[in-house]
């Protein structure tokens, strides 16, 4: 058998809790529309849900919660909405970093965040550096993230290492690719949740979701809360994970 990174099979077929949960936070616009509010009001309510769910994830003992906040395709939205979302993200990092830090949370940003406005890049890198030594759970925010873009960046990185003679082509396997992704130091993804009734992955964590359980709920993201997360984790515990085995 080829030498490849294998998932940790210790949990296969047994009832265990998820360590790493990722969420496609969808439905902010529809939440606002139902209330005859502007879309930004839905995104603001979405930030409140981010706060609630991050605290719940911590309380429930998750090791990592990854949230899809802005995709590499979200630039197609009207400039005003993009600016609103960036403003909310900036404000969120400023206002919530102390609480994260006080609770031992490590804040991580995945995605091509280095392509963002330099002042936001500085803020992100400062926030990550400040919380890097913490020992609690990771809250990872996917920002300017697209799974295909992540894989392209990882592939280019590995190709450059081959060209520089640092590694051989044969060294490129599942393990090397996983290690070149933005999520290299995060635990394997167990459960991927999408809110708002849509049932697609929308270019989110495509590699990492290879053996993740998928959970779709009709709830709109701004309504999502600790109870909703607990229901998703209950459903996860009932899944029979075989990772291709029997």
Among 89, 180, 192, 233, the residue binding ligand FPP under the rule CB under 6 A is: 89
Among 65, 69, 212, 232, the residue binding ligand FPP under the rule CB under 6 A is: 69
Nearer to ligand FPP among residue 30 and residue 153 (C-beta): 30
Q: Does 28 bind ligand FPP (CB under 6 A)?
A: yes
Q: Using CB atoms within 10 A of its CB, is residue 32 exposed (0-12), middle (13-18) or buried (19+)?
A: buried
Residue 112 is among the residues annotated as catalytic for this protein: no
Q: Does 40 bind ligand FPP (CB under 6 A)?
A: no
Catalytic residue among 63, 74, 112, 223: 74
Q: Using CB atoms within 10 A of its CB, is residue 118 exposed (0-12), middle (13-18) or buried (19+)?
A: exposed
Residue 74 is among the residues annotated as catalytic for this protein: yes
Collapsed DSSP state (helix, strand, coil) of residue 71: strand
Task: Please report how close the Cβ of residue 107 comes to ligand FPP at its closest, in angstroms.
Answer: 10
Q: Does 92 bind ligand FPP (CB under 6 A)?
A: yes
Half-sphere exposure of 171 (CA within 13 A, CB side): 13
Q: Residues 240, 47: contact at Cβ < 8 Å?
A: no
CA distances, 131 to each of 121, 122, 153, 166, 213 (Å): 16, 14, 25, 31, 29
Stretch that binds ligand FPP, among 56-64, 67-75, 98-106, 205-213 (CB under 6 A): 67-75
Task: Please report how close the Cβ of residue 139 comes to ligand FPP at its closest, in angstroms.
Answer: 9
Helix, strand, coil abundance in the chain, percent, nearest 5: 50, 15, 35
CA–CA dist 24, 205 (Å, integer): 10
CA distances, 228 to each of 85, 146, 170, 219, 235 (Å): 24, 26, 45, 9, 11
Q: Does 30 bind ligand FPP (CB under 6 A)?
A: yes
Stretch that binds ligand FPP, among 66-74, 161-169, 178-186, 234-242 (CB under 6 A): 66-74
Nearer to ligand FPP among residue 47 and residue 189 (C-beta): 47
Q: Does 74 bind ligand FPP (CB under 6 A)?
A: yes
Residue ranges that bind ligand FPP, judged by CB under 6 A? 25-30, 43, 46-47, 50, 67, 69, 74, 85, 88-89, 92, 141, 196, 221
């Amino acid at each position: 058998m080829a030498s490849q990174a294998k998932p940790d099979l210790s949990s296969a077929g047994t009832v265990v809790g998820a360590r790493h949960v990722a969420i496609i936070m969808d439905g902010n616009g529809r939440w606002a529309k139902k209330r005859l509010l502007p879309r930004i009001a839905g995104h603001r309510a979405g930030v409140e849900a981010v706060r609630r769910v991050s605290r719940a994830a911590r309380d429930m003992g998750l090791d990592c919660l990854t949230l899809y906040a802005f995709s590499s395709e979200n630039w197609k939205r009207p400039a005003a909405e993009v600016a609103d979302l960036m403003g909310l993200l900036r404000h969120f990092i400023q206002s919530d970093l102390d609480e994260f830090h006080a609770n031992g949370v490590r804040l991580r940003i995945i995605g091509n965040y280095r392509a963002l406005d330099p002042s936001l890049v500085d803020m992100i890198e400062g926030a990550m550096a400040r919380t890097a030594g913490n020992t609690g759970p990771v809250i990872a925010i996917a920002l300017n993230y697209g799974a295909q873009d992540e894989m392209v960046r990882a592939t280019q990185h590995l190709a450059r290492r081959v060209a520089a003679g640092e590694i051989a082509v044969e060294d490129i396997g599942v393990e090397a690719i996983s290690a070149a992704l933005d999520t290299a130091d995060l635990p394997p993804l167990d459960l991927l949740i999408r809110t708002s009734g849509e049932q697609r992955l929308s270019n989110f964590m495509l590699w990492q979701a290879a053996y993740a359980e998928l959970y779709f709920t009709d709830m709109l993201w701004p309504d999502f809360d600790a109870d909703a997360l607990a229901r998703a984790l209950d459903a996860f515990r009932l899944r029979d994970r075989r990772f291709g085995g029997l």
